[in-house]
Amino acid sequence: MPLWEKEGMLHALMTIYRQHGVTGLWRGSSSAVPRVIVGSSSQLSTFSTVKQFTNDLQVFQPGSWLVSLTAGMVSSIFVVLAMTPFDVISTRLYNQPVDQKGKVLS
């Protein structure tokens, strides 16, 4: 086996492909789509809302980088709370044992 195949991500991809084919590379991805939807929607809505609220309260000068920093920090809390259940589901699906045909083992 060449050196470039023995280490890193390429080795992992080749191993999964050899054992489970193309479908093995995409196993668990169906749980990633709702995760991204929930994470993106919570980030976009809370960031803009907090940014507007911070501007309305005039906590910082208008146009200050601190407005965006504050909105990003508050938004990240909501993103983590919304995405964690989906992360758990995704991780469990990715790590679920399968047989040679890709069927889930109970």
C-alpha–C-alpha distance, residues 48 and 72, integer Å: 9
Q: Where are the domains of the chain?
A: 37-97
The per-residue pLDDT for 2 is: 59
Q: What six digits make up the tokens of 20?
A: 């489970």
pLDDT at 26 (0 to 100): 84
- Torsion 82-88-93-94 (CA) sign: positive
What is the structure's pLDDT at 80? 96
- Asked whether the beta carbons of 83 and 38 are under 8 A apart, the reply is yes
Any idea which residue has 């911070």 for tokens? 54
pLDDT in tens, the chain (106 residues): 555 556 788 888 888 898 888 888 887 777 788 889 999 999 999 999 999 999 999 999 988 999 999 999 999 999 999 999 988 888 888 788 877 776 777 6
Residue identified by tokens 């990633």 is 32
CB 86 within 8 A of CB 34: yes
